[in-house]
Amino acid sequence: METPVTEKPDAPALIALDWGTSSLRGYLMDAGGRVLDRRSSAHGIQSLPVPGIPGFEQAFADLCGAWLKTHGKLPAVAGGMVGSAQGWAEAPYVPCPADTGSLAGKAVAVESASGVRVLIAPGVIFDPPDAVPDVMRGEEIQISGALADHPHLAGRACVALPGTHSKWVQVTDGRIARFATYMTGELFAVLSRHSILGRLMLDDAAASPADRSAAEAAFAAGVRTARDGLAGDLSHQIFAVRTLGLTRRLPPEVLKDYLSGLLIGNELVSGLARMRDTLAGDTPLLLIGDAALCRRYVRALDLLGTVPAALLDNTAPRGLFQFAVEAGLVTSPVSSDRSDMP
Amino acid sequence: METPVTEKPDAPALIALDWGTSSLRGYLMDAGGRVLDRRSSAHGIQSLPVPGIPGFEQAFADLCGAWLKTHGKLPAVAGGMVGSAQGWAEAPYVPCPADTGSLAGKAVAVESASGVRVLIAPGVIFDPPDAVPDVMRGEEIQISGALADHPHLAGRACVALPGTHSKWVQVTDGRIARFATYMTGELFAVLSRHSILGRLMLDDAAASPADRSAAEAAFAAGVRTARDGLAGDLSHQIFAVRTLGLTRRLPPEVLKDYLSGLLIGNELVSGLARMRDTLAGDTPLLLIGDAALCRRYVRALDLLGTVPAALLDNTAPRGLFQFAVEAGLVTSPVSSDRSDMP
């Protein structure tokens, strides 16, 4: 939520890095949490310019060197896969219930070759005694940002973060209470690229209104099949991508929409059931993620009779800022409720 | 079921080809359906020696040339993907209910360069008015063989054929009444090879009793997770392969057993529910397929409280023989119930 700000931005006070598997995004921020400048590169932790620690050093210098030259040694924070065992330094998972304060309390610092201290956020583990553990890295920062911008949601909310590895998160009293991962995006990618289902698919190079309408109908058909399916049915449902293609009941350019509907639909059927107790009453459902992907989830949720309370795009900068505030790196923190700002 | 046969085998009367995607298996048979000789090659329809029709010709000549030279122009039959749109000649799907007679009635003949007539079996399509269609190619021949060897099962049975694309089939009055495909084997392969789940996996090169016991325990844990899962839960369940590996709660060499248990377990949960009406009462459940894979299914079925009535290995030669009998290619057909033979 962007609040109109009339004051002049302060001087640069923080570098915030959202450092994932396939990309690195940097934000230059002032002491009020405003983004003054942003830069990004393809140097995710799996695609560094050179392997290992020198790769992290070089990617950091490439992205932030100009900022540091102009503004001096600013404090820096980083979240995401940069804190994994394959990252710049490992920041072990903190257990649920977790909030921005517990992330800051277990952060791990590295000092770059240029002498800048970079504070790396840990991920979060949900480890119930009677089930298998689940983990996240990066989403906890996005949730910190969402709750900082929308403090009225912190009491109780269900947050879904669609993506390669979607997360369904219960937030209670401002903390991540429990969560579950769904490999929806990765399943879509490996099935499209590496399974028999990809053979009949065509990309929709064209995008006429008629094509879009056919694609939306195929997506909706996939969601409805997921909604009406038996438990354990996914590996049967996806074979329909082949049979509908073979029998030409769906044109090849919308087969991937049908598969997308099946996979997102299955995630929603399970996620809504898993969070049923959380969502009872007035508890809002938030979506955080890429806007186009979130719109797909909204269409699928509609077919399941659910409407999310809000869609939030990139909340990582705000979350990294809150993490820096909790870690004491920013000297004049603003109120956590920006909507109350003058 | 092998019946003791005291007579001398007859002269060669038929060449039967089980011609799938990745392999070609040939059987030289007498007029009583006995296998006199067998040969196989890697020339499945996706790995022909040269592309297109000349590839089918060459693969056929390589496999059967010696038989034809010795025994003259025998009639030949072929089943499997050889009859698909990418096959030697397309034999369009016949609809359910389908039996060996309807397969023979819609067979398509090609004449090889050497002048041998090869009769290709069609696949089967299940196309209910209110759902998506499903298809099989090759399994219908295996079912023909199973029912020929076990005619008491033809009245009513549920047949599961584990594999890359597992099939769950309802047989009523000797016919394939309906069926469903599960992409269990292909999902296992693409997730192990191409997803993040494969990164932590190790092959169990060693096979000490302790290792086997840990592998069986991991498989059983996967089946139980599938049994107790929510609808739509598979893309969540499989992420546990990563978290159990990351947290070292399962050793890397048994992660693939856990994944196998999850995927087979999900197939069984859905397959048994889909066939609940069929399996009510005394209707037997048959498994047809690779013996080691069928044993995995038996262990998983046991955890779900079900015991199959029989496990049958390669029933394709017998099915191809029955197909040849129905097509009138074999002049002295035996009774279809071999257990009644003198």
C-alpha distance from A338 to closest chain B C-alpha (Å): 35
Q: What percent of chain A has pLDDT over 70?
A: 92
C-alpha distance from B337 to closest chain A C-alpha (Å): 34
Residue B339 or A306, more confident: A306
Query: Which residues on A lie below 8 Å from B187 (Cβ)?
Result: 195, 235
Is a pLDDT exceeding 90 seen at residue A1?
Answer: no
Interval B51-91: pLDDT, tens:
999 999 999 999 999 999 999 999 999 999 999 999 999 99
Establish if B162 belongs to a structural domain. Answer: no
Question: From the candidates B135, B167, B183, which should be mutated to test the interface with A, based on the most A CB atoms within 10 A?
Answer: B183
Phi and psi torsions of A203, nearest 5°: -75, 145
C-alpha distance from A13 to closest chain B C-alpha (Å): 36
- Residue B165 CA to residue B180 CA, distance in Å, equals 10
C-alpha distance from B316 to closest chain A C-alpha (Å): 24
Establish if A328 belongs to a structural domain. Answer: yes
- Residue B238 CA to residue B283 CA, distance in Å, equals 33
Q: What one-character DSSP code corresponds to residue A44?
A: -
Establish if B150 belongs to a structural domain. Answer: no
| Beta-carbon separation of B193 and A194 below 8 A | yes
Is a pLDDT exceeding 70 seen at residue B4?
Answer: no
Other C-beta atoms lying within 10 Å of the C-beta of residue B75 = 18
**Which residue of A230, A239, A246 is in closest CB contact with B274?**
A230
Please report the pLDDT score of residue A202 as a whole number. 82
Does A90 share its domain with A204? no
Question: From the candidates B239, B275, B277, B304, which should be mutated to test the interface with A, based on the most A CB atoms within 10 A?
Answer: B239
- Residue B296 CA to residue B310 CA, distance in Å, equals 14
- Domain enclosing residue A59, as ranges: 12-137+316-340
Across B39-59, average pLDDT: 96
Does A324 share its domain with A239? no
Interval B142-186: pLDDT, tens:
999 999 999 988 889 999 999 999 999 999 999 999 999 999 999
Does B267 share its domain with B291? yes
Does B322 share its domain with B303? no
Side by side, the strands of the sheet bearing B35-41 are: B35-41, B24-30, B12-19, B76-79, B117-120, B108-111
3-class secondary-structure state, position B260? helix
* pLDDT band (50, 70, 90) for residue B8: low
Does B16 share its domain with B73? yes
Q: What percent of chain B has pLDDT over 90?
A: 85
Q: Considering only alpha carbons, which residue of chain A is nearest residue B194?
A: A190
**CATH number of the domain encompassing residue A68:** 3.30.420.300
Interval A155-167: pLDDT, tens:
899 999 999 999 9
Across B246-260, average pLDDT: 95
Does B289 share its domain with B214? yes
Query: Which residues on A lie below 8 Å from B183 (Cβ)?
Result: 195-196, 235-236, 238-239
Does A224 share its domain with A118? no
Question: How far apart, in Å, are the Cα atoms of B314 and each of A33, B24, B338?
Answer: 68, 14, 17
Query: Which residues on A lie below 8 Å from B244 (Cβ)?
Result: 132-133
| Beta-carbon separation of B195 and A183 below 8 A | yes
Please report the pLDDT score of residue A208 as a whole number. 67
Nearest to B135 by CA among A223, A256, A245: A245
Establish if B62 belongs to a structural domain. Answer: yes
- Residue A248 CA to residue A176 CA, distance in Å, equals 46
Please report the pLDDT score of residue B207 as a whole number. 58
Please report the pLDDT score of residue A207 as a whole number. 58
Does B302 share its domain with B325? no
Across A29-39, average pLDDT: 96
* pLDDT band (50, 70, 90) for residue A153: confident
| Beta-carbon separation of A235 and B190 below 8 A | no
Establish if A129 belongs to a structural domain. Answer: yes
Look at the block and give the residue holding tokens 């008015």. Answer: B129
* pLDDT band (50, 70, 90) for residue A204: low
Across B259-271, average pLDDT: 98
Q: What one-character DSSP code corresponds to residue A25?
A: E
- Per the CB < 8 A criterion, the answer to whether B167 and B180 are in contact is yes
Interval A128-140: pLDDT, tens:
998 899 999 999 9
Residue A151 or A299, more confident: A299
**CATH number of the domain encompassing residue B222:** 3.30.420.310
Structure tokens at B55: 């590839």
Average pLDDT of chain B?
Answer: 92
Average pLDDT of chain A?
Answer: 92
Please report the pLDDT score of residue B306 as a whole number. 96
Amino acid B330 reads: V
Backbone conformation region of residue A15, classed left if phi is above 0, alpha if psi is from -120 to 50, else beta? beta
- Residue B48 CA to residue B23 CA, distance in Å, equals 9
Query: Which residues on B lie below 8 Å from A132 (Cβ)?
Result: 225, 240, 243-244, 249
Side by side, the strands of the sheet bearing B124-126 are: B94-95, B124-126, B134-136
Amino acid B307 reads: V
Across A54-73, average pLDDT: 96
Size of interface A-B (CB pairs under 8 A): 150
C-alpha distance from A78 to closest chain B C-alpha (Å): 22
Does A27 share its domain with A128? yes
Is a pLDDT exceeding 60 seen at residue B332?
Answer: no
Is a pLDDT exceeding 70 seen at residue A29?
Answer: yes
Interval A280-311: pLDDT, tens:
888 999 999 999 999 999 999 999 999 999 99
Domain count, chain B: 2
Does B188 share its domain with B303? yes
**Which residue of B244, B265, B266 is in closest CB contact with A234?**
B266
Name the strand (E) or helix (H) holding B311: strand B310-312
Establish if B216 belongs to a structural domain. Answer: yes
Does B82 share its domain with B188? no
Nearest to A168 by CA among A290, A44, A289: A289
Preceding omega of A333 cis (within 30 degrees of 0): no
Interval A306-335: pLDDT, tens:
999 999 999 999 999 999 999 999 975 454
Establish if A88 belongs to a structural domain. Answer: yes
| Beta-carbon separation of A232 and B265 below 8 A | yes
Please report the pLDDT score of residue B280 as a whole number. 87
Is a pLDDT exceeding 50 seen at residue A336?
Answer: no
ipTM for the predicted complex: 0.91
- Residue B152 CA to residue A148 CA, distance in Å, equals 70
| Beta-carbon separation of A226 and B232 below 8 A | yes
Please report the pLDDT score of residue B206 as a whole number. 53
Does A296 share its domain with A200? yes
Establish if A109 belongs to a structural domain. Answer: yes
